[in-house]
Amino acid sequence: MGDIISLLFVTVAADVISYYIRKWLDSDN
């Protein structure tokens, strides 16, 4: 159960990080 939660957390964290990187790059240009 813990593995599934940690895997889900990593997936969500990667989505959030990529979203903010895209947002930061868009505002930079």
| pLDDT, tens digit (0-9, with 9 covering 90-100), for 1-29 | 789 999 999 999 999 999 999 999 999 86
Please tell me whether residue 1 adopts helix, strand or coil conformation: coil
* Domain coordinates in residue numbering, the chain: 1-28
Write down the pLDDT at residue 29. 66
Instruction: Annotate 7-25 with b (16+ C-beta within 10 A) or e (fewer).
Output: eeeeeeeeeeeeeeeeeee
- Distance (Å, rounded) from C-alpha 24 to C-alpha 20? 6
Write down the pLDDT at residue 28. 81
- Distance (Å, rounded) from C-alpha 14 to C-alpha 4? 15
